[in-house]
Structure 1
Amino acid sequence: MKLPASNAPSLFDRKILDLHRARARIEDLFLHRAAADEVHDRLKLVNKTFTSPIIVSPFPKVWTERFPEADVVLDDDVLELSPASNDLVIHAMALHWANDPVGQLIQCHRALRPDGLLLAICLGGDTLTELRAALGQAEIEITGGLSPRVAPMGELRDLGGLLQRAGFALPVADSVPLSVEYRDLWHLMHDLRSMGETNALSARRRTLTRRGLFNAAQAIYSENFTSPSGRLTATFELICLTGWSPDDSQPKPLRPGSAQTRLAHALRTDERKLPD
């Protein structure tokens, strides 16, 4: 399934991302397990039995624990998916690292049979807002500049729009906020490193960061984002995207002007003409 080559610069450095993921500890992937539980719960609400599920994930073991009947492919730029071969595709906690997220969704769409379901889950724009703010303020105060240290992540509305661009029917996007407490900034960064979620931006600073910057960020974080227990609060936003491969059996939206009942009648109010 070959997509046209793009000349656009890559936002993420895939070699560094792969290196970070290789160092991840499977027992520390709590965000992936939370996402797998969320996907599992949502699928139980779908009135359909899936017989050929496939999962796109950088960490197959976590997802096969929850979905042992599913095949798994890695989230490469070109996915190892066959056209019209699956009735369920789960894109699992990788879309926020994609250089071409709409391309990923298009490939998933092509892999689905008619009336097949895509369920994509990824980190959204509210993720690590506290860390982003603390590091940014500390760097401005110490160096007078600002460098990209936390990857930008898609907002709910924007990610929902990708479903339509990729050709999915009945698109839905919603989010699930998670709040996690940490002893200090270094505890949080250790967790991110253990999950393979540290900075892999192509434009990241390549020199070592002075410890003084992290000390300043710790102080700012502690002053502004502390829980009642005295620990640091970190927000992770899981965004869930669902869309269906179009099929004639699916409900269709009414054409504009085709409604048979006036709004005033539905609301049980009087319909009055506005003055000229």
Structure 2
Amino acid sequence: MTEAGLFDRTAIARRLSRRDADGPDFVTAMVLDDLGERLMATRHVFSRAAIIGPDPRFFPTRGLSGGGPIAFERMSTLVPVEGVPLLPTEPLTLPETGYDLIVSLFDLQIAEDVPGFLARARAHLAPDGLLLAAALGGESLKELRAAFIAAESAAFDGAFARVAPMIAFDQAAGLLQRAGLALPVADIETHRVRYADPLALMREVKALGAANPLRERPRRPMTRSLLAEALARYADLAGDADGRVGATLEIIWFSGWAPHESQPKPLRPGSATISFKDALSRARGSSSD
């Protein structure tokens, strides 16, 4: 595990490893449900599949596409898990090549070189193999960022980043194209989630590894007064009438195929008229007939 770069991967791994082992957090559970729906949208038969992520303890070993059952090889890109291979991620190196399907969940938001990560994933796909990836989008937790910026600006001369930088949706399709993936499609799921109070949200953010993930994070301590000010500003910014608070959560989904001569030619830039799930269904609809 490298100690250079933008992200403090050691700290992120430590926080992820402390998560409750009884089951996935609600964000992971939501993404896994969405993954299942997306796989069912294609009739492609995936005879060899890998599912990778920073902490794969809650990832499935079995799945289902419209073309039949899927057996996943689970792999970790950050947290050591017994019986699960720990992958080098910069550059990404899977044990073998020739996968029909690679699913990456939450890797891209802590990758130092996102196009490089995607390109290396493509290199491990068989021709006409599918890459699916999910990451937190750039508008996620915008209320929390704003609350801390306002609180620190009032208390100090300037503010620091206390939440992970995230990928902007308008960059997603371009990242897939730069990685050499065919039929690139990106779409976004936007949710407003609610918590009992801002502290409950902050605990969730820490469990996801998104709190203070940068190597050059502020070294001054989080004082009681600063935390109280941030909590108050958050309640003012995103509080609901019942006393709970809301938070914006964006999940960006990336989809691309390893190039193959049988694939349809891409449309002109800006001419796409179908959704992510329709693209999967139409592109793969006759592959197993």
| Letter aligned with residue 74 of structure 2 | V
Cα distance in 2 for partners of 1:88, 1:132 equals 35
Provide the rounded CA distance (Å) in 1 between the counterparts of 2:51 and 2:196. 34
Aligned to 1:57: 53
Runs (4+) of structure 1 exceeding 4 A deviation are none
Shift of 1:118: 0.5
Partner residue of 1:21? 16
Alignment partner, residue 40 of structure 1: 36
Deviation at 1:79, TM superposition (A): 3.1
- Corresponding residue for 2:197? 184
| CA apart distance, 1:84 | 3.7
Which residue matches 1:107?
A: 120
Matched, 1:196 2:192: no
CA distance in 2, matches of 1:16, 1:209: 17
C-alpha RMSD over aligned residues: 2.1
Q: Distance in 2 between matches of 1:18 and 1:194?
A: 10
CA deviation after TM superposition for structure 1 residue 66, in Å: 5.9
Amino acid at match of 1:54: A
* Counterpart contact for 2:61–2:72, Cα < 8 Å: no
The one-letter amino acid of 2:33's match is: D
Deviates more, 1:61-70 or 1:135-144: 61-70
- Normalised by the length of structure 2, the TM-score is 0.80
Sequence identity, in percent?
A: 37
| Gap change, CA 1:249 and 1:134, over 3 Å in 2 | same
- Cα offset, 1:231, TM superposition: 0.9
Match status 1:216 vs 2:229: yes
Cα contact 1:168–1:243 (8 A) shared by 2:
yes
Consecutive unaligned residues in structure 2, runs of 5 or more: 64-69, 78-88, 270-289
Q: Number of residues paired by the alignment?
A: 249
The alpha-carbon distance between structure 1 residues 249 and 190, as it changes in their structure 2 partners (threshold 3 A), is same
Corresponding residue for residue 264 of structure 1: none
Contact 2:19-2:207 within 8 A present in 1 as well: yes
In structure 2, the partner of 1:235 is 248
* More displaced 10-residue stretch of structure 1: 122-131 or 56-65: 56-65
Alignment of 1:103-182 (within 5 A): 103-182=116-195
State which drifts further: 106-115 or 185-194.
185-194
Pair 142,45 (structure 1): closer, same or farther in 2 beyond 3 Å: same
Tell me how far apart the structure 2 counterparts of residues 196 and 254 of structure 1 sit (CA, whole Å): 38
Shift of 1:177: 1.2
SS at match of 1:108: helix
Q: Tell me, in whole angstroms, the C-alpha distance in 1 between the residues paired with 2:215 and 2:258.
A: 34
For 2:72 and 2:160, locate their aligned partners in 1 and report how far apart those are by CA, in whole Å.
40
Report the TM-score when normalising by structure 1.
0.84
Instruction: Return the alpha-carbon distance in structure 1 between the equivalents of residues 96 and 154 of structure 2.
Output: 52
